[in-house]
Amino acid sequence: MTGNGPEKPQRPMPGEPAGEALIHSMIRVNQAGEYGAGRIYAGQLAVLGESEDGPVLREMAAQEQKHLDTFNRMIVERQVRPTAMTPVWHLAGFALGAATALMGREAAMACTVAVEEAIDEHYADQAARLDDSEAELKQTVEEFRADELAHKDTALARNAEAAPAYPLLTRAIKDISRTAIWISKRV
């Protein structure tokens, strides 16, 4: 909201889906993203699960599972085609999580910061596009966006910025996340 009253939903850009196709695209990409996030945490837990970071990673993974369960339900209820990229995200998410954890706990936390910043942008864009006719989806997106921002704050508090080449690492992971979002909306 701005000082000028409620924000109007953003209109899709030319070539982007609209109406029901837009809602299906949103649900598809959100389900894929939450699945990928769970796989990232699985990879990090495979490396850091017995460390001091294990409980925090398990807590964030549990929230991602709650998000995934919600979007899995919406996929079924609304008869949305899931992304065909799930097998790729299964492997790529785990690999990203494990690789950053092998670089050290700070790099694992930097991965969380980068992914959550990309998701924050993504969910903010969705919330701006949704109107009262999609109140449940909009509320879900806003609630989950708050959870993702809390994950980012947790990662920053756990020394993410001390990761080797933090700006380069987070930039690369954000770019990967944005690309995965773009693909999952469409494929």
**What pLDDT is recorded for position 19?**
80
Q: Average pLDDT of 119-139? A: 94
Coil vs helix vs strand at 12: coil
End-to-end CA distance of the chain: 32
- C-beta separation of 89 from 36 below 8 A: yes
pLDDT bin (cut points 50, 70, 90) of residue 3 is very low
Domain segments of the chain: what residues? 19-186
Averaged confidence pLDDT in the chain: 91
Q: What is the pTM of this model?
A: 0.87
Give percent above pLDDT 70 in the chain: 90
- pLDDT exceeds 80 at position 11: no
Separation between Cα atoms, residue 89 and residue 132, nearest integer Å: 32
Give per-residue pLDDT as tens, 84-124: 999 999 999 999 999 999 999 999 999 999 999 999 999 99
Separation between Cα atoms, residue 26 and residue 181, nearest integer Å: 10
